[in-house]
Structure 1
Amino acid sequence: MNTAVSFLGAARTVTGSRFAVTAPSGRTVLVDCGMYQGARELRRRNWSPFPLRVEGIDAVVLSHAHLDHCGWLPRLVRHGYHGPVLCSPRTAEVAAIVLRDAAHLQEEDAAHATRRGSSRHTPALPLFDTADAEKAIDLFRPVPFDRMTPIGADARVRLRPAGHILGSSTVELESGGRTVVFSGDLGRDDHPLLCPPQPPPAADAVVVESTYGDRRHPPRTLHHLAEHVERALARGGTVLVPAFAVDRTAVLLMALRDLMRSGALPTVPVYVDSPMAQAALEVYRAAVRAGDLQIRDEVRGRAHDPFDPGELRLAHSPQESAALDRLTTPSILVSASGMATGGRVLHHLVHLAPNARNLILLPGFQVPGTRGRAMLDGAAAIKIFGEYVPVRAEVAGLDDLSAHADAEGLLAWLRGMPAPPHTCYVVHGEPAAAAALTARIRHDLGWCAVVPELGERVLVQGRAA
């Protein structure tokens, strides 16, 4: 019997990454344990029973700390998992922040549903709670990059920097005599803060993401950001940026610093209203100060704060957050979540979306079924807290700040493999994006490439000598 890979999430969709690698002995390693986000039909999968025996999982390996790659871990713990969770040291730091915030939001949403009587259960149940998150965090076992680490008797794992967010990794997993490489989420070569992804090693199979598998990013420029923001500030509006708390907020603040220091934008107050984003910024600052090798040479070891545009202001308490809805002077307000699925940004949308002076700037991929995607697609109203809120504010999308490699970047990373794998599996993308990247891999590289089905189990065949 050969080593097998089971696709338990992120198959023909861009969320919920979970992949199980099972050796001939039956020992299993789970690579990523992500939460489904987006449309209701996808979110319901978070409540589905886990398809494998939890007792049979030797270890979990996390590629990085985004919720769609680590957010289901507390639920796995609730189901009885108590083995190690291997990840890079920075992922351990950031994922702890992400999971605590996610548990808090789960508890808040359940309490809100109980008050409204909108749940099937009384009281409403969270997917997981703070106790589950803390148990999951206690299982983190940080491992350094570029070191082969044993997992049980018949598996080993090595992590390499992926350049997507701080701590993000590609995963090389040797199991039962076969090697499978997982891209996780790959970063861009021109990320302003992080070094490019390291090339992959030789492998029998490779599992690659395809978030932007059907498109090419325009050259990274701050022109579009400056144009949108300047127009809103000139009409006296507030720029509301629903930004991912991890990495996107840091990159956005760096961009605003450059624009304000160059005079391309006026220096106005920039508010960060997300406890998770503020905590993540501290991890990023520590990495810069410590000279972390993931950080680009031109940023590493800077004496000044690269994330302060000049008038950076942090909203800590709920009262400070609420006061931001009454701003009377042109300002920029950065709040989470990045696709407007939850968090403090929802309260700001209620107050700011109805006013045509304001700008809602969406700097990154918006999963179908989210409020961010609805606004980007021109929705005249969005539903928040059970009521519809009119969207009269200008809405603009911005791919310039995306931290995902595009189709060319994904292909370039794959070309870096020393030899072709037996099979390339294309995951973590909408159907059109996954299909487009699969076609490019077949045509440009001449490889066997497929888009697996959810729940599909495949045997890992050895590559040709």
Structure 2
Amino acid sequence: MDVSLQFLGAAHCVTGSKYLLTLDDHAAKHQIMVDCGLFQGLKELRLRNREPLPLTPADVDIVVLTHAHIDHTGYLPKLVRDGFRGRIFCTEPTADLLSIMLLDSAKLQEEEAAFANKKGYSKHHPAEALYTKQDVERMLPLVESVAYDAPLILLDGALTLTFREAGHILGSASVELAVQGEHQRKQLVFSGDLGRYDNPVMHDPAPVAHADVLLVESTYGDRNVRVDDPEAEVARVVNAALDRGGVLLIAAFAVGRTQTLLYYLKKLIKEGRVPQVPVYVDSPMGIRVSDLYPRHPTAHRLGHGNVFDFPGVRFVTESRESKGLNQLTGRAIIISSSGMCTGGRIVHHLFHRLSRPADMLLLIGYQAEGTRGRRLQEGETEIKMFGEQVPVRCHVEHLTGLSAHADRSELLRWLGNFKEAPKHTFIVHGEPTAAEALAHTLRQDQHWPNVTVPDYLDKAVLFEGI
């Protein structure tokens, strides 16, 4: 059997994760896609979502998902729209998250296309959504959930799939694929997005001890972002914001960061370390995701019950109430998404609050190149929104210590579990500087052989005649 791999995304960037694994025993060819994400951020990356993939979707047998974030799953409905009818495997929490996140993604795309047609600014006439809610509904029945640490034999024994805890978000996993050839068995490991160690909400990433071929993420491959006391950092920012007398607007990812933030606020308010003020969770998706945690009590550290409820917290579902929050002038906290300020309800909050000196914007987690969050993080003094230049007069804070991604030291800690170096390691899911920094460390300091930072659409022959 010959085994090859093509990098269809997350190569020299942190979005669009897609890897095409091909097993060819000359009698039959099987194609397995690991992750199937949308490109986000820079326009040149987003344009790739409209380009045809270098494959025939109907020929793909299996899609394996590491977790539910849109940059890892958001292309799935398009794949189905174009002819994919195979099987989709993920963990049970990821399966529950998919219906929430992909239906929301389709809704946003349909709304954007309608708005573009109304305003006439699209280059395509008429503008068309990449996929619709109907495409998502056709996709969801193809999804099959698999428990952690439960090997699943596929393709008549040619492939064995095992999910391991990745600690990134609810349901996230590293993927082990054991390929059985006529003569040899080879182990491929896809790290997925690795989480933090000692996170109060998520479990630690599970150790993986062996891989012949490894794909490892490198979001923070060039720096450490861990803080000794994240609770103290959250308390510091909250108190500083409320001392200004205005509103603290927090841009938080609906999956993961919103829930971790609610955990910290609940604890800090209970302990009297921050004042009790109204806390508005203005993210319909974030609310639906939070409701999933009690359904999967073993997939996180918080156990059963209403784990995110506390005095003063209000979950905002109606659009009218969300817009009404723009009138708030006293001390309050608004948590809204998206985390990179690219879409969702956070956008209208930014439009109204960036110009208010008494308010504060808090960015938590990674801000990808080309996003509005990245521009705010880097100190832009004006941001164009809804056709207007909005001055940035509010105070902007950025806490990387709450990121859901393992930092450099934590990546190396996870990599240190391998009993021997993989025969080939590919550094993915990182901007060029971060990916190259991690590659250099593995080559020079760890003395790992064959460490590669692949380019978009690169192909690699992994094994021949196994």
TM-score by length of 1: 0.95
Equivalent residue, structure 1, for 2:82:
79
User: Aligned pair 1:287/2:296, yes or no?
Assistant: yes
Q: How is 1:181-196 mapped onto 2 (pairs within 5 angstroms)?
A: 181-196=189-204
Q: Which moved more, 1:193-202 or 1:382-391?
A: 382-391
Instruction: Write out per-residue CA displacement over residues 227-253 of structure 1, whole angstroms, 9 at most, x where no aligned residue.
Output: 222122122211111110001100000
Equivalent residue, structure 2, for 1:150:
153
Cα distance, 1:83 vs structure 2: 0.9
User: Aligned pair 1:167/2:171, yes or no?
Assistant: yes
Mapped partners of 1:444, 1:311: distance in 2: 50
Q: Which moved more, 1:396-405 or 1:379-388?
A: 379-388
Mapped partners of 1:309, 1:213: distance in 2: 37
Mapped partners of 1:131, 1:384: distance in 2: 30
Equivalent residue, structure 2, for 1:263:
272
User: Aligned pair 1:207/2:250, yes or no?
Assistant: no
Instruction: Write out per-residue CA displacement over residues 322-356 of structure 1, whole angstroms, 9 at most, x where no aligned residue.
Output: 11111132110011111011111111111111101
Equivalent residue, structure 2, for 1:246:
255
Mapped partners of 1:93, 1:201: distance in 2: 29
Equivalent residue, structure 1, for 2:371:
370
Cα distance, 1:147 vs structure 2: 1.4
Counterpart of 1:314, as a letter, is F
Counterpart of 1:315, as a letter, is V
Instruction: Write out per-residue CA displacement over residues 382-441 of structure 1, whole angstroms, 9 at most, x where no aligned residue.
Output: 122232222111111001211111111111111212332101100000100001111111
2:397 is paired with a residue whose SS is: strand
Mapped partners of 1:127, 1:197: distance in 2: 34
Q: CA RMSD in A?
A: 1.4
Mapped partners of 2:51, 2:310: distance in 1: 44
2:400 is paired with a residue whose SS is: coil
Mapped partners of 2:307, 2:292: distance in 1: 13
Cα distance, 1:306 vs structure 2: 3.0
Cα distance, 1:224 vs structure 2: 2.2
Equivalent residue, structure 2, for 1:117:
120
1:260 is paired with a residue whose SS is: helix
Mapped partners of 1:227, 1:401: distance in 2: 14
Equivalent residue, structure 2, for 1:32:
35
User: Aligned pair 1:134/2:143, yes or no?
Assistant: no
User: Aligned pair 1:96/2:99, yes or no?
Assistant: yes
Equivalent residue, structure 2, for 1:385:
386
Cα distance, 1:287 vs structure 2: 2.3
Equivalent residue, structure 2, for 1:417:
418
Counterpart contact for 2:294–2:303, Cα < 8 Å: no
Cα distance, 1:279 vs structure 2: 0.5
Q: Tell me: CA distance 1:368–1:309, structure 2 relative to 1, closer, same or farther (3 Å).
A: farther
Counterpart of 2:46, as a letter, is R
Equivalent residue, structure 2, for 1:335:
336
Equivalent residue, structure 2, for 1:9:
9
Counterpart contact for 1:178–1:460, Cα < 8 Å: no
Counterpart of 1:324, as a letter, is L
Mapped partners of 1:309, 1:282: distance in 2: 14
Instruction: Write out per-residue CA displacement over residues 86-124 of structure 1, whole angstroms, 9 at most, x where no aligned residue.
Output: 000000001211101111110111111111101123332
Counterpart of 1:171, as a letter, is V
Mapped partners of 1:234, 1:172: distance in 2: 49
Counterpart of 2:458, as a letter, is E
Identity of aligned residues (%): 44
Mapped partners of 1:275, 1:76: distance in 2: 26
2:89 is paired with a residue whose SS is: strand
Counterpart contact for 1:3–1:21, Cα < 8 Å: yes
Match among 232, 240, 261 for residue 231 of structure 1: 240
Mapped partners of 1:450, 1:239: distance in 2: 43
Mapped partners of 2:379, 2:276: distance in 1: 30
Equivalent residue, structure 2, for 1:63:
66
Counterpart of 1:178, as a letter, is K
Mapped partners of 1:98, 1:127: distance in 2: 15
Counterpart of 1:191, as a letter, is N
Counterpart of 2:18, as a letter, is R
Gaps of 5+ in 2: none
Mapped partners of 2:321, 2:251: distance in 1: 17
Equivalent residue, structure 2, for 1:21:
21
Mapped partners of 2:388, 2:70: distance in 1: 26
Mapped partners of 2:400, 2:124: distance in 1: 40
Counterpart of 1:424, as a letter, is T
Mapped partners of 1:7, 1:50: distance in 2: 11
Counterpart of 2:220, as a letter, is Y
Mapped partners of 1:123, 1:240: distance in 2: 36
Counterpart of 1:363, as a letter, is I
Match among 33, 41, 45 for residue 42 of structure 1: 45
Cα distance, 1:79 vs structure 2: 1.0
Counterpart contact for 1:88–1:168, Cα < 8 Å: yes
Mapped partners of 1:190, 1:386: distance in 2: 43
Counterpart contact for 2:222–2:435, Cα < 8 Å: yes
Mapped partners of 1:403, 1:120: distance in 2: 36
Counterpart of 1:381, as a letter, is E
Mapped partners of 2:229, 2:32: distance in 1: 37
Match among 254, 278, 286 for residue 277 of structure 1: 286
Counterpart of 1:334, as a letter, is I
1:460 is paired with a residue whose SS is: strand
Counterpart contact for 1:85–1:139, Cα < 8 Å: yes
Counterpart contact for 2:364–2:403, Cα < 8 Å: yes
Mapped partners of 1:332, 1:285: distance in 2: 24
Q: How many residues align?
A: 454
Instruction: Write out per-residue CA displacement over residues 255-289 of structure 1, whole angstroms, 9 at most, x where no aligned residue.
Output: 1111111211100111011111010000013223x
Cα distance, 1:309 vs structure 2: 4.1
